[in-house]
Amino acid sequence: MTVAVLLADDQPWLRLGFRAVLDAQPDLEVVGEAGDGDEAAALVRELAPDVVLMDVRMPVLDGIEATRRIVASGSPSRVLVLTTFDLDEYVFAALRAGASGFLLKDAEPADLIAGIRAVAAGNAVVAPSVTKRLIETFTRQVPRPPADGRFGELTAREREVVVEVAGGRSNKEIADRLFVSETTIKVHVGRVLAKLGLRDRAQVIVFAYENGVVTPGTADA
């Protein structure tokens, strides 16, 4: 299957570069380009891309609000945020808005391609080391809402999986730590997403920290 990608960036030369890299892949196709967040949200409605490569800072409507609108619309399109800095408060806001992950703008082409494929497959693209720095930095600055009662509906094993996902670990790493098969972990993650009403692993990470399921530093053990 070909993954349809929408590019949203206010710099034409960057879009040109991304298009050249992505269109060279047999399974990726750039189906549209947007120069601001408002245009990006409109093109998502029109083109229904699988993945939106979304810049954070854009005129008219920024990438965060555009992401929020896309997710709130119920669109199946996944948003992969691009940023200049890996510790950018806007990135955390984008994850909270429903983005499936983020990459640095200067990421290697291979990482960009792999990230788009991963997001299209329903996975989060947030490197474990960056996840820890990002979340630990900004959860200290963001007031936590009241504890979410949905967490209490999870089984003991599902709660363990949430903690492991919050540590930025892959299904294989979680399976090894919990001494079960990778397939079993995939099933647990799917159930966690369904019970918590979340789109993907990136939102599980944010949910875990915002609701005190884990606190900065505790997901490393």
Nearest alpha carbon to residue 126 among 176, 188, 83: 83
The per-residue pLDDT for 145 is: 55
pLDDT above 90 as % of the chain: 48
pLDDT top residue among 183 and 145: 183
The torsion of the CA quartet 113, 116, 122, 127, rounded to 10 degrees, works out to 70
The per-residue pLDDT for 198 is: 86
How many Cβ atoms are within 10 Å of 151's Cβ, its own excluded?
18
Q: Are 19 and 113 in contact (CB under 8 A)?
A: no
Segments making up each domain of the chain, as ranges:
3-125, 146-210
> What is the rounded distance in angstroms from the CA atom of residue 83 to the CA atom of residue 58?
11
Q: What is the pLDDT of residues 8-66, one digit of tens each?
A: 999 999 999 999 999 999 999 999 999 999 999 999 999 999 999 999 889 999 999 99
- pTM here? 0.75
Q: What is the pLDDT of residues 73-113, one digit of tens each?
A: 999 999 998 887 655 567 677 778 888 888 888 888 998 99
> What is the rounded distance in angstroms from the CA atom of residue 174 to the CA atom of residue 104?
26
> What is the rounded distance in angstroms from the CA atom of residue 198 to the CA atom of residue 151?
12
- Give, in order, the Cα–Cα distances in Å from 169 to each of 78, 154, 198, 202: 20, 19, 18, 11
Nearest alpha carbon to residue 207 among 153, 140, 150: 150
Tell me which CATH code domain 146-210 carries.
1.10.10.10
Which CATH superfamily is 3-125 part of?
Response regulator (3.40.50.2300)
The per-residue pLDDT for 49 is: 97
Mode of pairing for the β-strands spanning 51-55 and 101-104:
unpaired
3-class DSSP state of 101: strand
> What is the rounded distance in angstroms from the CA atom of residue 177 to the CA atom of residue 4?
35
